[in-house]
Structure 1
Amino acid sequence: MTDRITLTQLAVTTPHGVLAHEKREPQRFFVDIAIECDLSMAGASDDLGQTISYADVAQDAERILLQPPVDLIESLAEQIAASVLAHPAAEAVEVTVHKPDAPAGVDFSSIGLTGPAVTVRREQHRPVVIALGANLGDRVATLASAVRALGRIDGLELIEVSGLFETDPVGGPQQPDYLNAVAVGNSRLSPWTLLDRLHEIEAGRGRTREIRWGARTLDLDLIQVGDPAADTDLHFDSGKLTLPHPRAHERAFVLAPWAAADPQARLRVGRKVVPVAELLRVADSSGIHIGPQWRPW
């Protein structure tokens, strides 16, 4: 991703340092922040909700710098990077903390911003769950091709893909049975960017959206982003995307392959975080059967 939001030389005078007098006597600190993110939607929509507010980023960084003194500017840089990556749209961040008046025992140039500084770069690393389904054409070949395409997405790392499950259609017009699977992995992409990549894979395999819940060559749904057990999962409804998927907790054709791919998986349902295996036990699984064997990756 080449889109970036940059904040340069945020200035705060505050006490931080290893030495006792540094914790008493404020000195100058400057911070540079460069955020990698997908700005295409914000550029097209002129909607602040589809980007990252640089005012929020700056105020969070200032709050961290004004906290009780710490020894190391490395600690400040890590905390600022973590605060940036808490934004759903942030894919990676580089933070530089300058301490030009540090008591280093040597002279630095008086021209420009000189003196000690540390730079850290951190990437987003969120667990993701993607459901796959197909009920037209050569379903196994289409799903295997989709898994390979997922593996080629820059910023997505696949960890496990379930076996195939043959399922009766749910809702919509009369149509053939589905083959379903679930892929779990980690992603540095924003959820909206990842969703766009999923739609590109669908379109490349003939997917159309003419009839809701109608037959399809390929269906890729983003089910969950983040880890609800660690309270890091994203939960929102942006109009384009709702997380977690609002019907995943009751769809056995999602729960069964998900539990197979990750037996420890959990899903947020309302205010509760529930094991997927427990949701599967109470879901209607009467229309689900083990599908053909496959080795998609």
Structure 2
Amino acid sequence: MSSYIFLDNIRFFAHHGVGEQETLVGNEFTVSLRLQVDIRRAAETDDVADTVSYADVYEAVKAEMAIPSKLLEHVSGRIIDRLFRDFPQIEEIELKLAKRNPPMGADIEAAGVEIRFKRP
């Protein structure tokens, strides 16, 4: 059986980007996560200690989003490293990080990266 905890379209205002203006002014970003976690014990005990708290995951992602980076790939890597370090119950992470209305002269809602990592 596979089970997942997800956080969908978390919104952040952050200062990531290659251009100087992007890091100065900032932009809106969204993060979506799908975390493979064995939830069988929590299903029996009804105890958050037997699973991964999505509130704690949010706080970890929020802390990483607050650190400016040029590339979304770099931010994503930091988020994944942090989640694997802080939550040993996570077996696999699927992450989508998008910049809303990127400054590229296109009629586009968002652009970003999607990655999936299994615990090393």
Same-fold status (TM-score > 0.5): yes
Q: Which runs of 5+ in 1 are unaligned?
A: 109-113, 126-297
Aligned equivalents of 2:51, 2:33: Cα separation in 1 = 15
Contact 1:11 1:31 in 2 (8 A): yes
Q: Which has the larger radius of gyration?
A: 1
Contact 1:78 1:120 in 2 (8 A): no
Moved over 6 A (4+): none
Question: Residue 85 of structure 1 corresponds to which residue in structure 2?
Answer: 84
Question: Residue 30 of structure 1 corresponds to which residue in structure 2?
Answer: 30
**Aligned pair 1:118/2:113, yes or no?**
yes
**Once the 2 structures are TM-superposed, how far is the Cα of residue 76 of structure 1 from its aligned partner?**
1.1
- SS, match of residue 110 in structure 2: coil
- SS, match of residue 99 in structure 1: strand
Aligned equivalents of 1:104, 1:122: Cα separation in 2 = 29
**Once the 2 structures are TM-superposed, how far is the Cα of residue 77 of structure 1 from its aligned partner?**
1.2
**Once the 2 structures are TM-superposed, how far is the Cα of residue 105 of structure 1 from its aligned partner?**
2.5
Question: Residue 94 of structure 2 corresponds to which residue in structure 1?
Answer: 94
Residues 211-251 of structure 1, C-alpha deviations (whole Å, 9 max, x = no match): xxxxxxxxxxxxxxxxxxxxxxxxxxxxxxxxxxxxxxxxx
| Larger helix share, 1 or 2 | 2
- SS, match of residue 62 in structure 1: helix
- SS, match of residue 42 in structure 1: helix
Contact 1:32 1:97 in 2 (8 A): yes
- The more displaced of 38-47 and 74-83 is 74-83
**Once the 2 structures are TM-superposed, how far is the Cα of residue 90 of structure 1 from its aligned partner?**
0.5
| Larger strand share, 1 or 2 | 2
Aligned equivalents of 1:75, 1:54: Cα separation in 2 = 22
Q: Which amino acid aligns with 1:52?
A: V
Q: Which amino acid aligns with 1:124?
A: R
Aligned equivalents of 1:50, 1:88: Cα separation in 2 = 12
Aligned residues: 119
**Once the 2 structures are TM-superposed, how far is the Cα of residue 13 of structure 1 from its aligned partner?**
0.7
**Once the 2 structures are TM-superposed, how far is the Cα of residue 64 of structure 1 from its aligned partner?**
0.6
**Once the 2 structures are TM-superposed, how far is the Cα of residue 73 of structure 1 from its aligned partner?**
0.7
**TM-score under structure 1 normalisation?**
0.39
- SS, match of residue 2 in structure 1: coil
- SS, match of residue 25 in structure 2: coil
Q: What is the aligned-residue identity percentage?
A: 27
**TM-score under structure 2 normalisation?**
0.93
Q: Which runs of 5+ in 2 are unaligned?
A: none
Aligned equivalents of 2:44, 2:80: Cα separation in 1 = 27
Aligned runs of 1:157-196 on 2, under 5 Å?
none
**Once the 2 structures are TM-superposed, how far is the Cα of residue 104 of structure 1 from its aligned partner?**
2.0
